[in-house]
Amino acid sequence: MPSLTRSEAALLTAAATRSSAQIRLPAAMKPAAAQRLIGKLLKHDLVVATEQEGVVSHQLTPAGYETIGLRPPSAMPAPVLLTESRATTPASDAPQAGTKRELILALLSRPEGASLQELITATGWLPHTTRAALSRLRSAGRTLEKSLREDGATAYRIIVEPPRSRGRRSRKPTTGAQVQIG
């Protein structure tokens, strides 16, 4: 298994949250750096180059999922493979990746949730920063459920609560001193 930098792991984890499993490079990334990154991911079979309607993109492979500690989905779409000469050129119009907050919300919204280590790998944050982000979600009104996985890791998952009934309630009369105006 190749060693990944935090940014490489974050790119792969972000791709894993998308139904298309597509790698989206940051808009600020220089073309040479993008080519080196995609080349490394292709070399280790973590991504595969695909083409649709003349647009080259890169899709996460089962080995890519396993490298970041996730199970690949049971039904992965079959990629349209490219020739080696075109496979290393990233799509220039690739949309910018979402924020880390959106990434955390996507990981926590999955049925299996996410472990602390998966969140750390996805964001590149330190453990205390990642736990602080979970606390901020709780204080923002999100309900997080903790559960123990088969491998012994604690998984966090966002629980979607049904909306509360906003029916009319009668007010109880106040007791104590009453002020009369008039």
Write out the residue limits of the CATH 1.10.10.10 domain(s) in the chain. 100-159
**CA distance linking residue 52 with residue 80, whole number of Å:** 7
10 Å Cβ neighbour count for 83? 8
Fold type of domain 100-159? Arc Repressor Mutant, subunit A (1.10.10)
Contacts of 78 (CB under 8 A, 6+ apart): none
Domain 6-87 has CATH 1.10.10: yes
Give me the pLDDT at residue 145, please: 92
Checking if the pLDDT of 76 tops 80, the result is no
Give me the pLDDT at residue 177, please: 56
Task: Indicate the range of 3-12, 25-34, 77-86, 134-143 predicted with least confidence.
Answer: 77-86
Residue 13: both structure tokens together: 């984890």
Rounded to two decimals, the pTM is 0.43
